[in-house]
Chains A and B, each alone.
Chain A
Amino acid sequence: MPKGVGKIRIRLPKHIAKGEVIPVKALITHPMETGLRKNKKTGKIIPAFYINDVRVYYGGELVTHADWSIAVSANPFMTCYVKADKAAPLKVVWKDIKGSVYEKTVQIQPE
């Protein structure tokens, strides 16, 4: 894994009531190279390198699946929503076009 790629932060609300719809904020460090940019010194095109598939699992069940193109910003930050009706792990999985898989699991613990 290249340096500085694949660092993940997932943020959930501090207090979660059972059955509440909560925002899941997920950030991953990734250059998201479009394949359209040129290296200014050498004039060579920087090859495309971006995340194109994101999946959010809650208790093993796929809740949200996103297809991304090159037009998602570097170090992508997304917010999606999950209905917290059970105490279960929440797993977010990112895949990039080079086949690397980045994932992180956090526990949702409704009070």
Chain B
Amino acid sequence: MKEMQTQPNAVSRREFLKKAGFASVAVMAVSTVSSMFSTGGRSPLSWPGAQEAAAAGRDVREVLRANFGDRTIQPSHVMLKTPIIAENGAVVPVAIDSDLPMEAGNYVKKIYIFVDQNADPFIASTDLTPASGRAAYALRIKMRKTSLVRAIVETNKGVLYGDTKTVKVTIGGCGG
């Protein structure tokens, strides 16, 4: 009798663990998928870290809207290169490169750099001409704290492309 009782219990426990394992994986999958698609705003670049940005001084979403209106930003053709960890927020090298053409009549007009968590998210913008030959720019910037960095490129036809990277700023230089 005792054995009869423990046997089904053991099975159900195993079953339970099995199911729980599947369930947690499923929950994780659902949450990542939903976070990938619940963009909220129109621009695919306006959603990550937007809530934190709203808490900091000037909201990056307002700044983006002021610059680009409701135009969509395509996350392609632009490569933003930043350090993963910046030990000194006063000097963070960022480099923007793009494979977009630079010919007369079809070129990159402007490159923008934004940092969400800075008091003023606008860092710099650069006007280019076909004589530049390459849609690329590099600069050293200041970052108040860990934040998302956005590079947005505008072509002369008004099409927007962008890339984002998170840079971790460690104050004190411990690297942690």
- Real binding pair: yes
Q: A residues engaging B (CB < 8 A)? A: 21, 34, 36, 58, 61-74, 76-83
Closest CB-CB distance, B116 to chain A, in whole Å?
Answer: 12
Contact A78–B123 (Cβ < 8 Å): no
Contact A81–B91 (Cβ < 8 Å): no
Contact A69–B132 (Cβ < 8 Å): no
Closest CB-CB distance, A49 to chain B, in whole Å?
Answer: 14
CA gap between A21 and B129 in the complex, in Å: 13
Q: A76-B140, A77-B139 are in contact. Are A64 and B134 (CB under 8 A)?
A: no
Of A61, A64, A77, the most chain B CB neighbours within 10 A belong to: A64
- For this complex, 18 residue pairs linking A to B, each with C-beta atoms less than 8 Å apart, are A36-B119, A63-B131, A64-B129, A65-B127, A66-B124, A66-B126, A67-B126, A68-B123, A71-B124, A71-B141, A72-B123, A72-B141, A73-B92, A73-B142, A74-B91, A78-B137, A80-B126, A82-B133
Closest to A79 in B: B138
**What chain B residues lie within 8 Å of A58 (beta carbons)?**
131
**What chain B residues lie within 8 Å of A72 (beta carbons)?**
123-124, 139-142
Contact A67–B124 (Cβ < 8 Å): yes
Considering the complex, which residues of chain B in the window 40-90 have a beta carbon less than 8 Å from any beta carbon of chain A? Answer: 90
CA gap between A68 and B141 in the complex, in Å: 10
CA gap between A70 and B92 in the complex, in Å: 14
Closest CB-CB distance, B8 to chain A, in whole Å?
Answer: 66
Contact with A along B18-60 (1 / 0, CB 8 A): 0000000000000000000000000000000000000000000
Closest CB-CB distance, B100 to chain A, in whole Å?
Answer: 13
Closest to B124 in A: A68
Please name 14 further chain A to chain B contacts, defined as beta carbons within 8 Å, in addition to the given A65-B127, A73-B141, A81-B134, sorted by A numbering.
Answer: A62-B129, A63-B129, A64-B127, A66-B127, A66-B137, A69-B124, A73-B140, A74-B90, A77-B140, A78-B137, A79-B137, A80-B138, A81-B132, A81-B133
Contact with A along B111-132 (1 / 0, CB 8 A): 0000100111011111111011
**What chain A residues lie within 8 Å of B120 (beta carbons)?**
69-71
Closest to A19 in B: B133
**What chain B residues lie within 8 Å of A69 (beta carbons)?**
120, 122-124
**What chain A residues lie within 8 Å of B167 (beta carbons)?**
none
**What chain B residues lie within 8 Å of A71 (beta carbons)?**
115, 118, 120, 122-124, 141-143
CA gap between A5 and B123 in the complex, in Å: 21
**What chain A residues lie within 8 Å of B131 (beta carbons)?**
58, 61, 63, 82-83
Contact B91–A73 (Cβ < 8 Å): yes
CA gap between A78 and B128 in the complex, in Å: 14
Whether, in the assembled complex, B95 has its beta carbon less than 8 Å from a beta carbon of chain A, the answer is yes
CA gap between A62 and B129 in the complex, in Å: 8
Task: Point out the residue from A34, A61, A65, A83 that lies within 8 Å of B126, measured CB to CB.
Answer: A65
